[in-house]
Structure 1
Amino acid sequence: MIKAEWQYIKQHKLMMIVLIVVALIPSIYSVTFLRSMWNPYGEMNRLPVAVVNQDKSVNYQGKHLAVGQSLTTNLKRSKALDFKVVPSEQQAQNALKAGKYYMVLTVPKSFSKNATTLMASNPKRMQLNYTTSAGHNYTASKMTNSAAGQIKDQVSHEITATYAKTLFGAVKQLDSGMQTAGKANGKMAKGGQQLKSGDAALTNNLNKVANSSLTLANGSQKVTTGLGQYVSGVQKAQAGNQKVTAGLTQFESASQKLQSGATKLATGATNLNGGVDKYVAAAGKIQNGSSQLNSGMQKLNSSVSKMGSSTAQLNNGMTAMASGLGQLSTSSQKLSAAAKQLADSSSTNTAAMQSQLDSLSKQVAGLNSNDQAVKSLDKSLTDLKTAVAGLDTNDKDSDLSSKVSTAADQQKLTPAQKSAMLAAVKSSNDTHQKANTAAVTSAMNAVNSSVDQLTHSMPNSNTTAALSANLGKMKAQQTAENGALNRLATGSARLSVHLVTATQSANQLNAGTATLAKQTPALVNGVGQLTNGSSSLAANSTKFAQSGQGLQAGATTLSNGMSKLNSQMPAVVASTSKLAAGSSAVGNGLSKLATSGQTLAAGSNKVANGNQQLANGVQQLSAGSKKLGSGIDQVTGGAQQLSTKLGTAADQANVDPDHATYQQVAQPVKADHTELDKVPNNGTAMAPYMIAVSLFVGAIALNMMFNMYLPKAYPKSGFDWLISKMTIWLPFTFLESFLSFNLVCAMDGLRPLHFISSFGIIWLWAIVAMALVTLLNLIFAQIGSFFSMVLLVIQLGGSGGTYPIQLSNHFFEAIHPWLPMTYAVEGMRKTLMMYNNSAWLQAGVLIGVIAVLITVMWLFYSRRYVQLSQIDFENPKAVAATQNRLTQRMAKVAG
Structure 2
Amino acid sequence: MALSEWRRLTSGKWPTLAVIAIMLIPTLYAGLYLWANRDPYGALSQVKAAIVVQDQPAKSQNSGTIHVGPQIAHNLKDDGSFDWQEVDADTAARGVSDGSYVFSLTIPKDFSAALASTADFDPTRAPLILTTNEANNYLSSTIADQVLTRVTRSIEQNVSEQAASSFLLGFSTIHQQIKKAGEGADQLHTGLVTAQGGAGKLASGADQLKTGTDTLVDGTGKLVTGAGQLVTGTGQLVTGSGQLADGTSSLSTGANRLATAEDQLLSGQKTLNTGIGTARTGASDLHTGAVKLASGADQVAAGNQQIATLGDKIADASQTAHGQLDTIRADLVEKLKDSGLPEATQQEILAKLDEVRKPLDDLNTKVQQDRGQLDTLASGSKQVATGAHQLVEGSQKLVDGLGTAQSGSSQLVSGQQQARDGAYQLKDGAAKANSGAQQLHSGAQQVDTGARQLQTGIGQADGGARKLQTGAGQLATGAHDLQKGLGSAVTGSKQLADGLKEGLGSIPDLDQDDRDATASTIASPIKTQDVAEAKAGSYGAGLAPFFCCIGAWVGAYVMFLLVRPLSRRAIAARQGPGRTALAGWLTPAAIAVAQVLIMLTIVVRVVDISVLESVPVLLFLALTAVTFVAIVHTLNAWLGPVGQLLGLVLLVLQLASAGGTFPWQTLPTALQAVHHVLPMSYAVDGLRHLMYGAPLSDVPMDALVLGVYLIASLALTAAAAYRRRIWKVADIKPEIAL
State the structure with bigger RCO (CA 8 A, min sep 6), 1 or 2.
1
Greater Cα radius of gyration, structure 1 or 2: 1
